[in-house]
Amino acid sequence: MTRDKLRLMPLLVLVSVLPVAAQLDANNWGKNSPGVTLVAHEDPRQHTAKGTVLWYNLLGKGFPEGLVYTLWRWGLEKSPEPLIKGVSFDKRGLLVCSGKPGYCSGAGPDDPINIKATAILGEMKRMAIVSDDGKIAAYVDAVPFPIESSDKTCKLSVTRVSALADRVLARASGLQANAPLNVTTRYGEQVASSKASAGPNGTWQEVVTAPGVKPPSGKAGISVSDAVCTVAVTFDYGPGSNKPQ
């Protein structure tokens, strides 16, 4: 599939238009079927005046042959949506449009599906391959421009739930198991502190929402600490924070 055929956010162009599969339940996102895996391979980035252009190919393992699959995406503040029905994997495990009857068609037989995208800071690109009957599914997420920091064994990352980052998902790992945590969040001049606990595997996560902040844009920060580590990140929120990198 030629390099201008399929784009993920903000533009989308499909090579072939076929009926799409049923709706994909967002609650099941990330729950791979047993024995199948999906990996996003990123090609070299292209830097332009309008932002960085990203290119992805998808590689799958364990997908049964002879089934019709659909490529899905899940964009910010949207529901999961199908992109191309009739995708399949070639002998290398590369996602392609084979051109065979009942499958999508590209520029030739087994034409690789190249996914073109731009991204904002802290945005997660979410893709999935699902069989028509929904029994085989695999998911892959990529954060090309992460918001993250580390201290000793600990790591904190933040991904956007909303495009303007007034809702984000904060995740920490490498903490002491079941340790008490101090969590501090800041949006503009509004600061809040709370107590939390790490899980038995030394992780913690929480959706952080801006509390009707004034001013409506500016700097935000999240800090998580246990008895050993303190990890903190800062990021922009509000209008203007969602420009492609």
CATH number of the structural domain spanning residue 24 = 2.60.40
The verdict on residue 210 lying in a domain is yes
Q: How far apart are the first and last CA of the chain?
A: 25
- 8 A C-beta contact, residue 132 and residue 21: yes
Q: How far is CA 54 from the centre of its chain?
A: 13
Range of the domain at 125: 6-142
DSSP assigned state of 108: S
The tokens for 103 are: 């499958």
- Both 176 and 101 in one domain: the answer is no
Question: Quick one: 112 and 194 in the same domain?
Answer: no
Q: Does residue 242 form part of some domain? A: no
- Peptide bond preceding 10 in cis form (omega within 30 of 0): yes
Residues ≥6 apart with Cβ < 8 Å to 91: none
> Nearest-CA neighbor of 4 among 160, 95, 86, 117?
117
- Residue 104 and residue 87 share a domain: yes
- Provide the pLDDT for residue 16: 35
Which letter does DSSP use for residue 12 in this model? Answer: -
Q: Are residues 107 and 201 in the same domain?
A: no
- Whole-model pTM: value is 0.86
Q: Which of 90, 112, 142 is the last residue of a domain?
A: 142
Per-residue pLDDT of the chain (245 residues), as tens digits, is 544 445 443 323 333 333 444 568 888 899 999 999 999 999 999 999 889 999 999 999 999 998 999 999 999 999 999 999 999 999 999 999 999 999 999 999 999 999 999 999 999 999 999 998 889 999 999 999 999 999 999 999 999 999 999 999 999 999 999 999 999 999 998 999 999 999 999 999 999 999 876 678 999 999 999 999 999 999 999 999 999 99
For residue 79, being part of any structural domain is answered with yes
Among 142, 162, 180, the domain boundary falls at 142
Give me the number of domains the chain comprises. 2
Q: Is the dihedral of CA 23, 29, 31, 33 positive or negative?
A: positive
State whether 161 and 197 are in the same domain.
yes
